[in-house]
Amino acid sequence: MLKVGITGGIGSGKTTVCKIFEVLGIPVFYADAEAKRIMNTDDLLMSSIRQQFGDNAYSETGQLNRSYLAGVVFNNEIELEKLNQLVHPAVFRAFNEWVQAQKGVPYVVKETALLFESEAYKLCNYTILVSSTAELKIRRVIQRDNISKNEVELRMKKQFTDVKTAKLADFIVTNDEKELLLPQVIGLHEKFLEMALKND
């Protein structure tokens, strides 16, 4: 079974692209959503977070104290890296378990904002960058999250630029509201189906 990684900067539209793959019958693993889930369910990860960031990292009911943790890692690259070093391997484990559970499909897709930054691409056979203009990304995120332009730009600075990621990705989907999205995704779908057949 082929594993395809999809990434793109905040507001690029990678989730939209993934929804098209789902309509085409391809299972999608949403790494960011999974990370949020396992930070409340994976005993090993929860124990490691408590050890690293103290008991305040979780509430009395055992739920992740997001505001406390955000306060610790926000604008602190060292603390953020410590958190990532704990969370990323746990997400990799969850992804491998999820892949094992997928039956009768030619390939699966893993969506993650930090595909290359976290080295998650190493778990994938092929990678896709969903690319868009900075202007469009900012506009989409402001509308979606109701935050300021400055806040969006701060988030963008923490991710690889499209120029950098384009050099690393195997395929690029352009989501600039000029080039049609559907034909690009269907074209890739057909390509992956061919590749999967050859791999069997």
pLDDT tens digits, one per residue of 90-143: 999 999 999 999 999 999 999 999 899 889 999 999 999 999 999 999 999 999
- The CA distance from 33 to 159, in Å, is 18
- The CA distance from 141 to 137, in Å, is 6
Neighbours of 98 (CB within 10 A): 14
pLDDT in the model for residue 99: 96
The residue count of the chain comes to 200
Q: What tokens appear for 160 in the block?
A: 């690889």
Q: What tokens appear for 24 in the block?
A: 């085409």
pTM to 2 decimal places:
0.90
pLDDT in the model for residue 154: 84
pLDDT in the model for residue 74: 80
Residues 33-70 pLDDT 10s: 999 999 999 999 999 999 999 999 999 888 999 999 99
**Across all residues in the chain, what is the average pLDDT?**
93
- The CA distance from 46 to 121, in Å, is 25
- The CA distance from 139 to 83, in Å, is 29
Which amino acid, residue 115?
A: L
Q: Can you name the residues that pair with 64 across neighbouring β-strands?
A: 58
Residues 148-173 pLDDT 10s: 999 888 888 888 888 999 999 999 99
Residue 49, helix vs strand vs coil: helix
pLDDT in the model for residue 36: 93
